[in-house]
């Protein structure tokens, strides 16, 4: 099995300074294993904080929707 990867990186010269690197990796037909790695603790904190903000925004939108419906239907 052969895997080709292409990566782009900037060198600080603005939008036109992209360099493309091509890598080829050859695997034999035997099984290979990718070890599990725990994400960094700061990543989990950011994920939990973003999840809480999105969930709070959904609750806020739902509250406005319910209050608008009540005002529209009953007044």
Domain boundaries, the chain: 2-29+40-74
**pLDDT beneath 50: ranges in the chain:** 14
CB 62 within 8 Å of CB 43: no
How confident is the model at residue 60, as a pLDDT? 98
Chain centroid to Cα 72, Å, comes to 39
Find out whether 23 and 8 touch, Cβ atoms under 8 Å: no
Rounded CA separation 46/49 (Å): 5
Mean residue pLDDT across the chain: 77
Distance CA 18, CA 10 (A): 5
CA distance 56 to 48: 12
């Amino acid at each position: 099995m052969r895997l080709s990867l292409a990566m782009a990186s900037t060198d600080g010269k603005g939008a036109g300074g992209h360099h493309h690197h091509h890598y080829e990796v050859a695997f034999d037909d035997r099984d290979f294993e990718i070890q599990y790695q725990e994400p960094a603790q700061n990543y989990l904190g950011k994920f939990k904080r973003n999840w809480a903000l999105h969930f709070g925004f959904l609750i806020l939108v739902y509250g406005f929707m319910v209050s608008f419906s009540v005002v529209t239907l009953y007044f």
